A and B are shown apart, each in its own frame.
Chain A
Amino acid sequence: MSQSQQKKVLCIEDEHFISELYMRSLNKAGYDTTVVVDGVTGLKEIESDAYDIVLIDLMLPGMTGMEILRTLHDSDKKVRARIIVTTNLDVKEDLRSELEQMADGYIIKAEITPRQLAEILDRIKLD
C-alpha cells in the first residue's frame, strides 16, 4: 500500500493492551493507525473527518460508544469514515437494531485476533 493509498484508521479503545495489539497488526497490514483512549476525544477526531475507518469500543470513559454513535447519527454533518464497533459487550436485541442503523459493522473482539481484524478491514469498501 503506497503512502497516498494508505487508509487511515482511528481506533477508539481505552484498553491499552488491545489498542497496542491492533495498532501493531494494522500498521503491519499497511494502515495508518491512530489510537485515542476516551469517547470525547474520539468524537472530536471522527468529526475532523480525517479517517477512512473508525474502530469504536462501546464502553469508553467520557462518552460511551453508543453516545458517540447517536451524536454522529443525529448530526447534520456526515462523516465519510466506515464505522465499525469493536467491543466485547453483548448488546441486547433492542439495541442491536439501533446499532445496525448507526454503524457499518459490529465485531466481538474476543472472537477475532488482531490479524483477523486487519483481514476484515481489508475487505471493507471505501467511498
Chain B
Amino acid sequence: MDYLKQFQGQAKILVFLSLAVSNGFIVGLWYISAYFTDVSSVALIIIYGSLIFLFNWLMADVIISRITAPLKLVRQAVHHVSEGASASSPPNLQRVWLGRELLTHLVPQIYKLASGERDDDSPLQVSGVSETVLYTLPLALVVINNQEEIEYINQSAAKIFDTPSDAVAGKNVHESLRMQFATKITFEAWLNMCRKKRVTSTKTWHHVRITNTDGNVTHQGDVVAYYNKGLGKRIETTLAFFDRSEDYASDDEGISFMALAVHELRTPITIMRGYIEVFEEELGDKLDGEQTAYMQKLSASAQQLTSFVSNILNVARIEENQLMLHLEEQKWSEVVHAAINDISIRAEAHAKHIDLNIHTGLPTVAVDRMSIYEVLANLIDNAVKYSGDSDRIVVSSRLMKDGSVETTVQDFGRGIDGSVLKHVFEKFYRNHRSKNAIGGTGLGLFLCKEIIEAHGGHIWVRSKEGEGSTFGFTVQNYQAVASNNLGGDNSKGITRNAHGWIKNHSMYRE
C-alpha cells in the first residue's frame, strides 16, 4: 500500500473541511450583518475583516500543526538515532492521527538503517576467530568508508591489488585499487550514484581487469559491491573480487573464438584483395573505362569487407573490455591524410570526392592511430552511403578553444530525421526508413563513439533532412594528456598505423 498517497488523501480532506468551515463562517457573518442596519458599512468591514482574519489564522495554525505532525516525529526519530538514546526520547506514534500509517512504516526503517551505528565503531572489530577467517579468506575483500577510503583489506585482496594491507588503509579506494571496467558505470560512478540517491544497493561487474602500477593487467575477474548507508558509523561499502583470470584469459595463447572466426574470415579476404590487385596490375592497360570502374568497385567492396570484419572484432573487444588504446604523440594532419588516402578508394568507387580542409598549425595529438583510422573509415563510409546524389564529402579539422582538435565529416545527402538522430550512436541502431535501401550493421557509429570516448574526446552529429549530416569528434592535445603516463618505453619506439606496427629502429628515417 502507498502510505504517502494515503497521507496525502487524509491531508486533502482536512484542508477541504477547514476551507468549508471557514467559508461557512464568512457566510454566517454576512447573514448576521443584515440585523445591524444602523452600523456604518465601514465599521462592519473593519469588524468582520478582523474576525475573518483571526478565524483563518487559527484555522491555518490547526491545519499546519496536523499536517506537519508526521514530519516532527520523523525529525525526532532521526535525532534519537543520531544523538543516541540518552540525548532525546523516541517518537510516540500514538500522538499523531494524520499519516500514522506512513509513520509506523517509515520510523522503523530509520531505526533499521541506523542500527549499525549503535554497534561498535567498526564491524571489523569482531572476535579473534572471525577476524582471522576474514583475513585469510581466499576471496578478495575490501571495506570502504564514507570518505571513499579503504578501511580494511584482507590478505587475498592485498595480494590481488598488489598493495600491502597496512599501507593502503585510509587511502582513496579508486586510486588504490586499479580496476578497469567493461561498462561505463564503473565502481566509482556507481558509488557516487549510491551516495547521492540510494540507501542500499548491490552491483556486479564482469570482466574487470586489475592492473599493476605500470598499467599491465595482472588479474581479471568479477567484482561485487554492496552499499548500505547504515552499515556502520563510517563503513558504507564492501567490495569482493572473484579472481577469474584463468577463465577470462585467452584459452589458447590468446586465441578466443572471436579471434579464430575473424582469422577465418580474413584469410579469404586477403586472397581476394591480393588477386584483385594482380588483375589491376596485369590488366590495367587493357581495360576500358567501364571495366576499370568494375574493378574499382570490386576492390572497394573487398576493402569494405575488411572494415566490416574489423568492426565486429572491435565491438567484441569493447564488450570483453579488451579494447586497449596506445595513445602516442601524432601529427593530426598526417594521421588524417594517411587514413583518407586509404579510404578514398571506397569513396571514389561510389563516385564521391573527399575534400580535405585541415587547418595548419594544429598541435600534436594523443591518439591510437589504428583506432582513429577505424573512426575515420566508419564516418566516411557512412557519408558515402548517405550522400545520395551528392558527390561531395568534406573532411575538416580545426583547433578548439580548449586545445583539443575537432574533425568533422560532412555529407550533403539525405540527412537524418530528428527523432532518429539521438539514437545513431547506439549499437545495432539503424534508421528503419533507410535500412532496406542502404546496407550496414549499425555497429560503425557505436564503435566510433566508444573509440573517441576512450580517447577522452567526444563525438556529435548535426543533421537536417534533405541537406545532409555532419559528424564531428574531438581528440585531445598531446601536451594536455602527456602527464597521464602516456605509453610505456615499449610503445615509444613503435610506429602504429591502420594495418599493424613496425618498430622505429627498423624504419628508414630521413
Q: Is the CB of A93 within 8 A of B502?
A: no
* Bound-state Cα–Cα, A87 to B508, Å: 23
Taken together as a complex, chains A and B put the C-alpha atoms of A73 and B490 apart, in Å, by 16
Write the A99-127 contact mask toward B (1 if CB under 8 angstroms, else 0). Answer: 01100111111111111100010011100
Q: Contact: B507 with A123, CB < 8 Å?
A: yes
Chain B, residue nearest A65 (CB): B253
Please give the distance in Å from B451's CB to the nearest CB on chain A.
Answer: 16
Contact assessment for A105 and B502 in the assembled complex, using a CB-CB cutoff below 8 Å: yes
Chain B residues in 8 Å Cβ range of A91: 254, 259
In B299-341, the 8 Å CB interface with A consists of 306, 309-310, 313, 322, 324
Q: How far is the CA of A89 from the CA of B498 in the complex (A)?
A: 15
Q: Which residues of A contact B250 (CB under 8 A)?
A: 92, 94-95
B206 to chain A, nearest CB (A): 17
A21-B253 in contact given A93-B324, A105-B500, A108-B500 (Cβ < 8 Å)? no
B263 part of interface (Cβ distance < 8 Å): yes
Q: Are B266 and A109 in contact (CB under 8 A)?
A: yes
Across the interface, A93 reaches (CB within 8 A) one of B322, B491, B501, namely B322
Give bound CA distance, A85 to B502, whole Å. Answer: 10
CB-CB < 8 A to B494: which residues of A?
100
**Cβ A18 vs Cβ B271 within 8 A:** yes
Stretch from B273-281, B385-393, B410-418 at the A interface:
B273-281
Residue from the list B278, B306, B502, B509 in contact with A84, Cβ < 8 A:
B502
Q: Are A97 and B216 in contact (CB under 8 A)?
A: yes
Tell me the complex Cα distance, A109–B269, Å: 9
Indicate if A59 sits at the interface (CB-CB under 8 A). Answer: yes
Q: Using a CB-CB cutoff of 8 Å, which residues 157-205 of chain B contact chain A?
A: none
B324: chain A residues at CB < 8 Å are: 93, 96
Q: With A89-B259, A107-B499 in contact, is A18–B313 under 8 Å at CB?
A: no
How far is the CB of A103 from the nearest CB of chain B, in Å? 8
Inter-chain contact B263/A88, CB cutoff 8 Å: yes
CA separation between A76 and B239, bound complex, in Å?
47
Residues of B within 8 A of A104 (CB): 502-503, 505-506
Residue contact A82 to B506, C-beta cutoff 8 Å: yes
The answer to whether A105 and B506 touch across the interface, beta carbons within 8 angstroms, is yes
- Nearest CB of B to A60, in Å: 12
In the complex where A88-B263, A91-B254 touch, is A123 in contact with B508 (Cβ < 8 A)? yes
Chain B 228-258 interface 0/1 with A at a Cβ cutoff of 8 Å (1 = within) = 0000000000000000000001100111101
Residues of B within 8 A of A124 (CB): 502, 506-508
Q: B481 within 8 Å of A by Cβ?
A: no
Across-interface contacts of A112 in B (CB, < 8 A): 499
- In the complex, the chain B residue whose C-beta lies closest to that of A95 is B254
Question: With a CB–CB cut-off of 8 A, which chain A residues contact B506?
Answer: 82, 104-105, 124-125
Asked if B271 and A66 sit within 8 Å, CB to CB, the answer is no
* CB-based contact A113/B259 at 8 Å: no
Set A17, A85, A107: member contacting B274, Cβ < 8 A: A17
**Is A64 located at the chain interface by the 8 A CB criterion?**
yes
Inter-subunit contact A59/B499 (CB<8 Å): no
Verify if B94 is at the interface (C-beta below 8 Å from A): no
A sample of 20 more A-B contacts (CB under 8 A), given A105-B502, A108-B499, A108-B500, is A15-B267, A21-B274, A21-B277, A22-B274, A88-B270, A90-B258, A93-B217, A94-B217, A95-B250, A96-B324, A104-B506, A105-B506, A110-B306, A113-B274, A113-B277, A114-B274, A114-B278, A115-B277, A115-B281, A125-B507
Those 10 A-B pairs whose CB atoms lie nearest each other, nearest first: A88-B266, A21-B274, A110-B266, A111-B499, A105-B502, A107-B500, A92-B254, A95-B254, A109-B270, A104-B506
Interface residues of B (CB under 8 A from A): 216-217, 249-250, 253-256, 258-259, 262-263, 266-267, 269-271, 273-278, 281, 306, 309-310, 313, 322, 324, 490-491, 494, 498-503, 505-509
Between-chain CB contacts (< 8 Å), 25 pairs? A18-B270, A21-B271, A21-B277, A22-B274, A25-B277, A66-B253, A82-B506, A88-B263, A88-B266, A88-B267, A90-B259, A90-B263, A92-B250, A92-B254, A92-B256, A97-B490, A100-B491, A100-B501, A101-B490, A105-B506, A108-B499, A110-B269, A110-B270, A111-B499, A125-B508
Interface residues, chain A, with chain B CB atoms under 8 Å away: 15, 17-18, 21-22, 24-25, 59, 64, 66, 82, 84-85, 87-97, 100-101, 104-116, 120, 123-125
